[in-house]
Chain A
């Protein structure tokens, strides 16, 4: 059993042992706090072999002190004060800097009070093996404990405490080493106070304490040259006392009143738009506004004025001479602000804030110099927010912002939550359960962002689960991209046919009570087949082709008749409209329609009678359309092929059955259709698509990643779907010129290509003609570098990124000459072929059905505004679904990489290395694209590099001399998945291996 004692505190010592102070609570009440402390004589000095202080812990400081410093030949210990740690942490962390050091409790507490992240670094340091640091609890030792005197600032009190402790150490050393008779007295080692504060040094000298400045001390050290580099610049800020209770400083300008904003926008003086944060540089954002061709650039915190990604803001544009080019530097919020403190950042105008400010302004000023004038874009500042678009964000708790990481702690802590998305600022929140939330994905909403607070304030909503657990990651993905993923409600399920999965097409004639066969064509005996990716459950299209007696070919595309089941304006329809699209994740699918429809009743399974909406063409053998008709029908598919199966069947000369012949017929037509499309100027674009191999259905652990393979049959299906979509688009546009649901792809503004053109011209001497889609397609074909086969794909990927995204629209709401689809080079286009997974197709089905007189058009589809509203939602959902899908792939690629890395390590091969191409250069890094994995990464250099913005090259010093890296260069990168120390976010980290090993840079 441990020894339990009562610590006696004589009443008479109350002056020293009790402390009374008043403090203001969060609610603004003033309370009196009384604390006591117990002073003791058993606080050890930590010097080896000290005969007074014996502890169980082995002493760390050598008996003689350090003899290496030239100013102190008799040996010394150093005792730095608080500001040394606040300003020179890098020096102290250096492995070259290791004199025996005494760390005072007063100092620790002051560091903790000023900056938690620095405190955590200090704490880690004091525990590390290779440092000789002894923590002396001076506030608990009766000789060194001091109390604050009348009219003494806390800072002065601490300085006095530090001097006091230094003096005590010196007397303690001389007392415990009395001169031994007969021996010459060896001079004692000194304890040297290190401080930057001249006044403090002066006071120390007066009381006989040796003190020195950091710079002077380092100059006298052995490795002075290397260490002097680590000294942080002596700021003009000087050392200021902690301003404990300064009034809150206003950090952001206030917003203008709404009426002023609206009037300003109306008059054209101000501009309204969505705020887009820059994911590479947290100090930059942009707002695209109709008045300028280029988006308005917002540089710096004040100009971004508390806008968060997606907010609708009002900007004021600066005079043209202040226009700038965007910065070409990667500025990471975590790196720049890692020492910022959650509890008082922005609330007290402490020098912590000034430090952040100085750092940020340094970053901003460094980037704006020497820029080509053509790259300049309008700059401005946000003067108001029309609408906040705040929602719940998926975040991680920043572990360094925690005061206490003990799970038993019940205290409220103010911590930072770092959103998963790089576009968002850190959010400050108060929680009692911070320690248990570490390593978890949590949901946080922003509550407000005051002009006095550097960060937005939010609150914890709920925990999603452990980081990297699949459930948590998946849910966080869905939340992050606002995908509605709740199960379908009862009202929705009630809209399904009551027979459930027993539902069948009734036989023709009298048994057809619901009159399903009315006006339906019976195509059950036509040889129809479907071709889809493997394991496809929602088969929404099937095809057929047969030779006609006149030598022409009849081809048919049969699409599941979803509009038969999903009737307008019922709960299921409303829900589908709200969901907009089915979302495909790597290991999951979030359906737009209940799965009974999607994977059963509307899935054109083989050998089952299904309702369909058919589009049947008569085509000449050269694939010219003779006629087209649309009809509701009943079909019975003869086979469900995968692309691979269909391909094998087509290529097998032994097979001559009807099915195979029809596939060959379709294929021959598809080839001609494609030729025509290409001749018309359709673009063959590339996007990095990869496929994740999952281990098994249950565990869904990814084993590997490979690029998607494209076969002839893929293109077969694609061509006929395009044909169907175009034909349907023409039909519904003719019938409903005001409300037809169409899809368009606007030609990209020429300026989007400027940069890519410039890069190509300068690095490869190639030119890109962007005057039309056809010209672009032709010049893309010429972008070939014989030595680098992947180069063409790379250029295509980059060209794709310059383009706008396609969108749905209502035909009455835009001018007819803007209907065109740029990428497909078609003058009109819509989506008809996937009604199970896209809501726009459902609308198109309804319109087509009305166009052929099968059903009357529902009233809502006559209203232009209603169609527009629905399509707005669908467009947004579509975009989000794409991003969610990509993010899901990214997550699995990360997992696969991790698995691969571990496997490689297990085999002793070291790390994962892949070939990559440089796609962007920054001042301090390069953006690379790993085509094999379909991922993009960022390689940053800490060391200075020479950046040539004109020629998109970066010159990196290396042992073998300087190496020049330019865009399109092939490099080899080492890929690691590392956990971010703070956020626990698994992060793909890339470092260059060739041509330069950048791990040291």
Chain B
């Protein structure tokens, strides 16, 4: 009985014990996944888990899809049948998935420096493994990380957070339960410039509330940015460390210890 759960109780706690402005636990794994991906990232926001693989820039398989002055960004999303509580297979042509990949594509096209790679293609494959609200936010954050991991030049990070409004209280990083019950907005920001690249809202919301939640979600994006930057830096340090240890056999043991 989902309706029996209070979204925000009188003590100021949400149904999972967080307070209003607390984001869910964020874990980032940038170690290589899949066969031969140029960059990959696996990210969880609470119980939402997304894994992204980036291939490219590489030669396009189909000539017709290339542009003479920039790279073509191709995004494919697949949602695992077991990802939601109700088992459901979504095919490639599913409207929901097409919409999601289109949104992601229009978010990332202006951020990737595509003009550096004319007549080539960048493939981004997104695999949704677990869903518990904030799917779009997780996809955006994971894609940013995977692109950075692949070494593709970006103008900036793209960091997204979902915000919702419960009566007049604002909530950040909604779970599925909250998402079903509240009007919600996903905002993606570029933290360095402070620009907003995406705002997505499928519910109705009073315009006054919208402004508040819009600002707050933008702020929250910067917090996420800090975490993402740290993950990228750690990964890079680790790689650099690994590179330096080549030729120094004794240090190899240390590299294994640092693995996380």
Contact = CB atoms under 8 A, between A and B. Distances in A.
A503 to B, nearest CB: 53
A7 B172 CA distance: 12
Contacts of A410: 180-183, 203
- Chain B contact surface mostly: loop
A408 B182 contact: yes
A9 B13 contact: no
B85 A112 contact: no
Given A4-B220, A411-B2, A38 B17 contact: yes
A729 B227 CA distance: 95
B16 A36 contact: yes
A3 B21 CA distance: 7
A140 B13 contact: yes
B27 interface: yes
A135 B165 contact: no
A127 interface: yes
B166 interface: yes
A362 interface: no
A4 B223 contact: yes
A105 B11 CA distance: 10
A343 B25 contact: no
Contacts of A18: 47
A834 to B, nearest CB: 52
A697 to B, nearest CB: 38
A34 B47 contact: yes
B16 A35 contact: yes
A733 interface: no
B3 interface: yes
B4 A113 contact: yes
B24 interface: yes
Interface in A25-51: 25, 29, 31-40, 43
Contacts of B220: 4
Given A37-B16, A38-B18, A139-B17, A6 B86 contact: no
A820 B10 CA distance: 70
B108 to A, nearest CB: 24
B197 to A, nearest CB: 19
Contact of A7 (B10, B24, B130, B165): B24
Given A31-B86, A127-B10, A410-B203, A4 B23 contact: yes
Contacts of B2: 411
A283 B219 CA distance: 59
Interface string B92-103: 000000000000
Nearest to B168: A408
A411 B180 contact: yes
A123 interface: yes
Contacts of B11: 43, 105, 135, 137
Contacts of B26: 6
A11 B17 contact: no
A937 to B, nearest CB: 39
A855 interface: no
A127 B22 CA distance: 25
B236 to A, nearest CB: 21
Contacts of B180: 410-411
B4 A343 contact: yes
A386 B223 CA distance: 68
A126 interface: yes
A272 interface: no
B156 interface: no
B4 A112 contact: yes
B76 interface: no
Contacts of B167: 406-408
A202 interface: no
A4 B161 CA distance: 12
A interface residue count range (under 10 / 10 to 19 / 20 to 34 / 35 or more): 35 or more
Interface in A390-424: 403-404, 406-414
A310 B97 CA distance: 52
A410 B3 CA distance: 10
Interface string A87-113: 000000000000000000100000011
A8 interface: yes
A35 B14 CA distance: 12
A112 to B, nearest CB: 7
A1 interface: yes
B25 A411 contact: no
B153 to A, nearest CB: 28
A6 B223 contact: yes
B244 to A, nearest CB: 30
B22 A408 contact: no
A710 interface: no
B62 to A, nearest CB: 40
A409 B181 contact: yes
Contact of B4 (A35, A139, A403): A403
Contacts of B32: none
A5 interface: yes
A28 to B, nearest CB: 12
Contacts of A137: 9, 11, 13, 17
Interface in B1-60: 1-4, 6-7, 9-11, 13, 15-18, 20-27, 46-47
B181 A411 contact: yes
A406 B10 contact: no
Given A35-B16, A408-B167, A410-B183, A2 B216 contact: yes
Contact of A31 (B13, B23, B46, B85): B85
Contacts of A11: 27
B25 A5 contact: no
B226 to A, nearest CB: 9
A10 to B, nearest CB: 8
Given A31-B85, A413-B3, A38 B10 contact: no
Contact of A32 (B6, B85, B132, B172): B85
15 contacts: A2-B20, A4-B216, A5-B223, A7-B23, A34-B47, A36-B16, A37-B17, A38-B17, A38-B25, A123-B10, A403-B4, A406-B166, A409-B166, A410-B180, A412-B3
Interface of B: 1-4, 6-7, 9-11, 13, 15-18, 20-27, 46-47, 85-86, 130, 132, 165-167, 172, 175, 177, 180-183, 203, 205, 216, 219-220, 223-224, 227
Please give me the 3 A-B residue pairs with the lowest Cβ-Cβ distance, nearest first. Answer: A140-B17, A9-B25, A38-B17
